Amino acid sequence: MMNHQFRGAGVALITPFTENDTVDFDALGKILDEQAREGSDYLVALGTTAETPTLTSHEKTEVVKYIKDHSSGLPVVVGMGGNDTRKIIKQIDEFDFSGVSGLLIVTPYYNKPSQEGMFRHYLTIAKASPVPIILYNVPTRTGVNLEAETVVRLAEASENIVAVKEASGILSQITRINKYTPEHFAVISGDDVLALPIFSIGGAGVISVIGNALPGKLSKLTHSALDGKYDEALALHFDMIDLFKLLFKEGNPGGIKALLNIRGLIKNELRSPLFRISDETYNEIKEAYLKLEK
């Protein structure tokens, strides 16, 4: 397994909110303290799990600054996606990259570009960015799939494009990416439940949701698999399989925020149009968590 800079357990951080709908930085600090202590390898700010579309520009700046200041030395990746290439370039030009190790760039959503359009979009961003780019493919949210052939073209065209966060669930596609991309490029699982299968076909790590609440278990699963200890990794995978499913039963980040609330780390608050999960699912998550912790 290559010694890639984004190898291992990355965590797609949530944004905690107070009951007054402001960012709860004290709660975010508690989550960050656990990440460093429990073995996470890097942090991802302003991803899907962070409810980024509902954050103001000022809040985004403050959240990233807080995460950088409280990362305990862990690398920080920042989400900066969009569906207007020029706007992303402008964001890059105006962004403070101090303390930032990479950018996570989701495929353009809603306007559904062609494969050639996405190739040009990403290449333009890679040329403008002073830090490495992680492609992010999540077609269930964006409406478009970044195909394996396009990922290979991008990896070959720019050494600044170093990885893809793959959340398509298409294992045949993910396998082709692993097989045909150059040595500097890594495949990262974007789905907790598929992390172990993706490790088995050459994946370098995961950008995890459950890692917000269970960073130690997620890190142990990840590194057991990457070190070839698949029996240990499989046991942990089986231990967490019910939670993997339940956390997404009513959508993300509703499930992970419920689990963090059960653990006493955050208020169970989301920003509209998202809303907290039902009491039924909350109790199912609590039961699965308590069973896991026995």
Residue 222, Cβ neighbours under 10 Å: how many? 29
Within 8 A by CB and 6+ apart from 204, the residues are 1, 2, 4, 6, 7, 8, 163, 186, 187, 188, 226
**What is the distance between the alpha carbons of residues 200 and 73, in angstroms, rounded to a whole number?**
29
- The single residue of 42, 122, 136, 282 carrying the catalytic annotation is 136
257 is catalytic: no
60 is catalytic: no
**What is the distance between the alpha carbons of residues 294 and 290, in angstroms, rounded to a whole number?**
6
Tokens (6 digits) for 179:
């097989």
Helices (H) and strands (E) in the chain, counts: 12, 8
- Find tokens 């070190």 and name the residue: 227
Q: How many residues are given for the chain?
A: 294
| Distances from the Cα of 182 to the Cα of 2, 56, 157, 159, 253, angstroms | 11, 38, 10, 9, 33
**What is the distance between the alpha carbons of residues 61 and 95, in angstroms, rounded to a whole number?**
9
Q: Is 77 helix (H, G, I), strand (E, B) or coil?
A: strand
Contact 171, 197 (CB under 8 A): yes
- The single residue of 165, 217, 220, 257 carrying the catalytic annotation is 165
Contact 221, 37 (CB under 8 A): no
Q: Is 228 exposed, middle or buried (0-12, 13-18, 19+ CB in 10 A)?
A: exposed
Phi-psi region of 220 (alpha: psi -120 to 50; beta: other; left: phi over 0): alpha
Just list the catalytic residues: 136, 165
